Structure 1
């Protein structure tokens, strides 16, 4: 059964639709923002606290699931190939088996989830978008802590890989919502409640 609503294209996805050149530029900027935000970190153990989840969910909502997912896959791929784009300038395949592995894998899942929900459910409405962003953060934290639990146990993962990230996740979700609304206003995207 088809929806009676017209297709919704997030603000930066519409920009990428203009030409392949714009699409490439949007992807490069997305990857660069993810790499930059990884370096803005509080170097705590076992996983540093970064600004990445803010950039991740903002980009996913503004790019949509296909382009946002592609940007995140490209970011993860270049990090795994050895470019120092992960937090603290780290890189390499070993990152997937380390304490940050669940978060790195979670970036892709979160980008796809947030982008898809924005395009198909939230559709530029403020409260559904807030819920989408919060869910994206929750999924990312659960994947990160879940992997950490396999390495060091559930109690350690909860105390060191989940709870310390919650206050920042709340703030980053609110800032992401404000950022998305600001970018959409600049792009002329109408917003409902």
Structure 2
């Protein structure tokens, strides 16, 4: 039985139309990730930000190649010292903070969500919701796992996982709505 071709998300299709779009989309994505990092609830040890909403929405709209390039670019400019991380922080010292696991997890979660959207969810609402929720879960697990190496699993779970659950649910629903609305505005056919 033949398999269906991969779904091509709206921003991936746009990037394929002209090289300028292929460059502009990741640059705008990096800017959106940096901006969303500053929208935060300052809890300790890691603030709750709007970033995972933006990250996972972009991943589902970009496809895995653009999402990977965008998130790798975001991490690179942050590690080079630009203040793109939460609290306008940047530089290699971020790797010694409790936020480091989340920053590393951005790349894993973005590529995972993008691949699963292209190959499996294909804009179908329930599967896409599951993919976005999985992206949040993976991001939270990597972030908490990193912190657990410093403080132990129980404290990491209490401080770096549990507080993020309510926000992850809200951001997953918001990301689902955003992706569907953008895809509809881009003329993407309804999934079958």
**3-state DSSP class of the match of 1:190?**
coil
Q: Which residue in the other structure is 1:67 paired with?
A: 66
Give the aligned partner of residue 33 of structure 2.
34
- C-alpha distance in 2, partners of 1:33/1:85? 10
Distance 1:190 1:126 in 2: 13
The Cα shift of 1:191 comes to 2.7
1:37-186 alignment runs, 5 A limit: 37-186=36-185
Q: Deviations over 1:80-115 (max 9, x none)?
A: 000000000001112122100100000000011000
Tell me the TM-score normalized by structure 1.
0.97
Closer, same or farther in 2 for the Cα pair 1:101/1:3, shift >3 Å? farther
Distance 2:122 2:43 in 1: 36
Check whether the contact 1:31–1:72 (CA below 8 A) recurs between aligned residues: yes
> 2: CA distance between counterparts of 1:151 and 1:58?
31
Q: CA deviation at 1:3?
A: 4.8
Distance in 2, matches of 1:23 and 1:17, equals 7
Measured against aligned partners, the alpha-carbon deviations of 1:133-173 in whole angstroms (never above 9, x if no partner) come to 00000000000000111111111111110000000000000
Q: TM-score, normalised by structure 2?
A: 0.97
Q: Distance in 2 between matches of 1:148 and 1:68?
A: 25
Give the SS at the match of 1:45: coil
The 2-side partners of 1:96 and 1:108 are apart by 15
- How big is each residue's C-alpha offset from its partner over 1:101-134, in whole Å with a ceiling of 9 and x where there is no partner? 1000000000110000000011111111000000
1:117 and 1:95 map into 2 onto residues whose CA distance is: 29
In 1, Cα distance between equivalents of 2:58 and 2:16: 16
Instruction: Find the aligned partners of 1:89 and 1:6 in 2 and give their Cα distance.
Output: 41
Q: Distance in 2 between matches of 1:179 and 1:186?
A: 10
Partner of 2:5: 6
Residue 124 of structure 1 aligns to a residue whose secondary structure is coil
Structure 2 residues without counterparts, runs of 5 or longer? none
Structure 1 residue 44 displacement after superposition: 1.1
Contact 1:126–1:191 (CA under 8 A) maintained in structure 2: no
